[in-house]
Chains A and B, each alone.
Chain A
């Protein structure tokens, strides 16, 4: 009898549909998102619920969204990348120089930016994964490095104007008043969500982040996985550098300031565990959306802009708390 009881308790309990949905990771983002939208929608219907406003929110997510995908892969592998914002700024400048000063064609310029970003990621990966430096300090150091190089290469002034076809590309609205940049982000999110969910690479990254020792014993090359995650995040930073430059029709010497915190915030809100090992890219996308919607809602309600920061802080802590509670509940019930 005793045995039977034990077996039963380890089996997944037959839950109702509602509680199953409530326990998926994305819900802790979706609920505050919906609440925000409904409240603002009722109070400021004309300002908030119109196509222009909604699409402008969505367009805005393209940059931090793409950057956060890179951060998320590093975070999932159990590390952190503080250099990501500065790296994006630095590769943006490289792209600007290639396109404006050296007169290279778009393909080579963009490739150069991605290589520059990837190189910084490579250095991060080398120092952290191979050499064993603390991730925080290493990426802080490369952040300083990139910031300096960014201003040095740009001579402290924006590199502009970019050839017109770049800004034409950024201004183009192929569908529903949304930009190409937004669709690039959506594409990347879908691809990476599939990679994380269904491929061995995704499994490996999560295994390494979840339990390094176990992953090592399971025959995973932990060093390579972490190194790869850093290079990936560097390449993402390169892409975002190009995106920013296109959007603003020039590479700016202060692009990417503070973006490292915003990406980490998006990860944490989107349910990518900062301890490593788990997370969904879809949730991350919703996390980025939540931050932008929050900002927009507060603007629509004409709340002073500094309250945005306070609310972001509170929502960040709140979202992660909800996530912890959710995990506890699902661990208890399963």
Chain B
């Protein structure tokens, strides 16, 4: 029914109503203004720089979107990413393990952390906030305990070279992120599992009544989140050629803000990989354009907050209008 009504609208109405439109208008406005004030903004080099620094938070945001879609939140992602970014070189340098084994072990560790979060929240009934703040503190302490706060470098197996490489003008982490976004987008849109994910977040009771194992979906969402966070942490370490304990600090808020800007509802049941990608790009482009406009560094944080609030408000207004229409 819904599809039919949508198809009757003109092309422009459909674009206007798409979930991502609300954020594209301010983005375009900012790009144009910045371009006029500072033409170097539009240089290709500037954009490749932006694309090189954003995949790490982007992958974390993609992972975060899974719990968010099922109606839960994960505060621990930033610190867990930092922990995984330390664990990976720890396995290789301190324990002297092979590359593949280290990667696999780190991925497993990420999954386990995600599973612990999921079990605490779904099976034991802890509020998602409490359980993941607990995990936040545990990961925060653990990542510093691993090496007593010292960084781990240089990475063996020529991983540093991989971080410096520029395949197709950008970087390996960027292309890995792109592939992950495409795969996740496909799974969410086209598979039965993806439909079930949205159903779980939209209305848990209805989902349960229609035979979906909602508990398992929610735990799985946390496990996927942990997995992606582990990937992001490893890529950041490879990119820096250095395991730095400070990595990942504040990523949880960046990731959640990107998700919200990209149209992932914090109430659950809504959001796409494409939206998350656009949200992340917007956050980074705005940060970059503020630098290009020579806005004082301190105000940039404030502007981020205002844009976040504005994006979400715009989304709500648009939804209200949609219901009326």
Q: A residues 120-160 with Cβ under 8 Å of B?
A: 127, 131-134, 136-138, 140-152, 156
Report B114 CB to chain A, min CB distance, Å.
15
Please tell me if the beta carbons of A156 and B129 are within 8 angstroms of each other in the complex.
Answer: no
Please tell me if the beta carbons of A261 and B73 are within 8 angstroms of each other in the complex.
Answer: no
Partner-binding segment picked from A3-11, A14-22, A230-238, A309-317: A309-317
Please tell me if the beta carbons of A314 and B296 are within 8 angstroms of each other in the complex.
Answer: no
Majority SS at the chain B contact face: helix
Using C-beta atoms within 8 Å of the partner chain, give the interface range for chain A.
Answer: 35 or more
Does B105 belong to the interface (CB within 8 Å)? no
Q: A residues 89-131 with Cβ under 8 Å of B?
A: 127, 131
Please tell me if the beta carbons of B145 and A304 are within 8 angstroms of each other in the complex.
Answer: yes
Q: Which of A140, A152, A265 contacts B298 (CB 8 A)?
A: A152
Q: Which residues in A have their C-beta under 8 angstroms from that of B145? A: 304, 306-307, 310
Q: Which of B125, B130, B148 contacts A316 (CB 8 A)?
A: B130
Does A321 belong to the interface (CB within 8 Å)? yes
Q: Which residues in B have their C-beta under 8 angstroms from that of A320? A: 126-127, 130-131
Does A268 belong to the interface (CB within 8 Å)? yes
A265 to B75, CA, bound (A): 13
Partner-binding segment picked from B177-185, B221-229, B232-240, B253-261: B253-261
Q: Which of A137, A141, A309 contacts B266 (CB 8 A)?
A: A137
> Could you show 29 A-B contacts with beta carbons less than 8 Å apart?
A127-B309, A131-B313, A133-B313, A134-B266, A134-B267, A134-B312, A136-B73, A138-B309, A144-B257, A144-B304, A145-B301, A145-B309, A146-B305, A147-B301, A148-B304, A149-B302, A151-B297, A151-B301, A156-B298, A265-B133, A274-B127, A274-B130, A309-B138, A309-B140, A310-B142, A311-B141, A312-B137, A313-B135, A320-B131
Beyond A141-B312, A144-B302, A304-B145, 17 additional contacts (C-beta under 8 Å) are A127-B313, A134-B266, A137-B309, A138-B309, A140-B305, A140-B308, A143-B305, A151-B301, A152-B298, A264-B133, A268-B129, A306-B145, A307-B145, A310-B137, A311-B141, A316-B133, A321-B124
Q: Contact residues of B with A, CB < 8 Å?
A: 73, 75, 120, 124-127, 129-131, 133-142, 144-145, 148-149, 253, 256-257, 260, 265-267, 296-306, 308-309, 312-313, 316
